[in-house]
Structure 1
Amino acid sequence: MGNNGGRGKVWLGVAGLVISSNKKWLVVKKNYSGLKGKWSLPAGFVNPGETADEAVVREVKEETGIACNVIGMIGLRTGVIKDEISDNMIIFLLKPEREGMIISPQESELFDAKFIDPLELEKDENSSVMLKYLTNLSKTIAKPLHDGINPGDQFGYTSYKLFL
């Protein structure tokens, strides 16, 4: 999730579970952070002026070169770091825009990126804790995206989406 420049004490990150048509998962091995050398989901921070679902598509593309479409939201990871930083991550389910795209790992951040069978990831000691939880879920239900909603002009939203 890169550097925390100017994020203050409340962080909002996104992670993408990208599943190919042959049911393999797109995972990355970061070369920094607490996840260094472990398989994890492509992830990053939401930038000003973008929605969380736009951020996950951008991060997956930046980290792996794979262009994706969001299917829905599958979960939230929320925690507190050292009693002061609220660290929140929304996890989305995505699918590649098309099959057979070439993975090009972002060399500044990653050792590797590849599609791996979730059963292999479940057994791999180098899989992140969150990945292990995801592989153990019997069936992941994604909350679908509802777009084009206007909650009222008084709020001034330029983008407003619900995942319900």
Structure 2
Amino acid sequence: MRKERGKVWLGVAGVVVNGLGQWLVVKKAYSGLKGRWSLPAGFVNGGETVDEAVMREIKEETGIDCFVSGLIGFRSGVIREGISDNMAIFYCRMKDEEQLLYIQEDELLESKWLFPQELMQDEMTSVLLKEMVSNQFEKHQLEMINGINPGDVFGYSSYKLFFKK
């Protein structure tokens, strides 16, 4: 069942890197990314921040528990001149290197740990992922600053900033 998302979409994706330097990648079972290596990703739900959303999506799709290290990119585009499609891309670290991968079968064909060089050479790697492999995103990430209150008048239940430190 497809959810109605309106004309402005906010998605998240996460690059999870293990101790060997391999990236956690998935092959979607649907959409334009069907059968292509891409990042675990999905939409932000009401009541959650973007970093909470990416940790949830990674866990739901692959079984991997992680934490957000920083924001490494933002993708924005307009689909068919009518839908604003936006995605925050995060750098994530595994909570436990011993976790086993699984796949969310209704959304994914496969999940796997691959080295960046393998992704560059695979013709089934998404364009976004190939661009990310060719850049050293770890050095350019914006770090999360938590615990700030911009003022009670706004009524935030959660508030986070991402800045270069």
Deviation at 1:138, TM superposition (A): 3.3
Partner of 1:130: 128
Identity %: 57
Partner of 2:141: 142
Alignment partner of 1:57: what SS? helix
TM-score, normalized by length of structure 1?
0.96
Partner of 1:99: 97
Partner of 1:156: 155
Specify which of 12, 31, 42 is matched with residue 14 of structure 1.
12
After superposition, the C-alpha distances for 1:60-118 in whole angstroms (9 at most, x for unaligned) are 00000000010000000000000000000000000110102100110111110011000
After superposition, the C-alpha distances for 1:1-32 in whole angstroms (9 at most, x for unaligned) are x94x1210000000000011111000000110
The Cα RMSD (Å) is 1.0
On the 8 A contact 2:17/2:93 being kept in 1, the answer is: yes
On the 8 A contact 2:72/2:137 being kept in 1, the answer is: no
TM-score, normalized by length of structure 2?
0.96
Give the Cα separation in 2 of the matches to 1:43 and 1:107. 15
Give the Cα separation in 2 of the matches to 1:139 and 1:97. 20
Deviation at 1:142, TM superposition (A): 1.4
Specify which of 69, 72, 81 is matched with residue 71 of structure 1.
69
Deviation at 1:139, TM superposition (A): 4.5
On the 8 A contact 2:142/2:162 being kept in 1, the answer is: yes
Count of paired positions: 162
Distance change in 2, residues 1:139/1:59 (3 Å): closer
After TM superposition, the runs of 4+ consecutive aligned structure 1 residues lying more than 4 A away are none
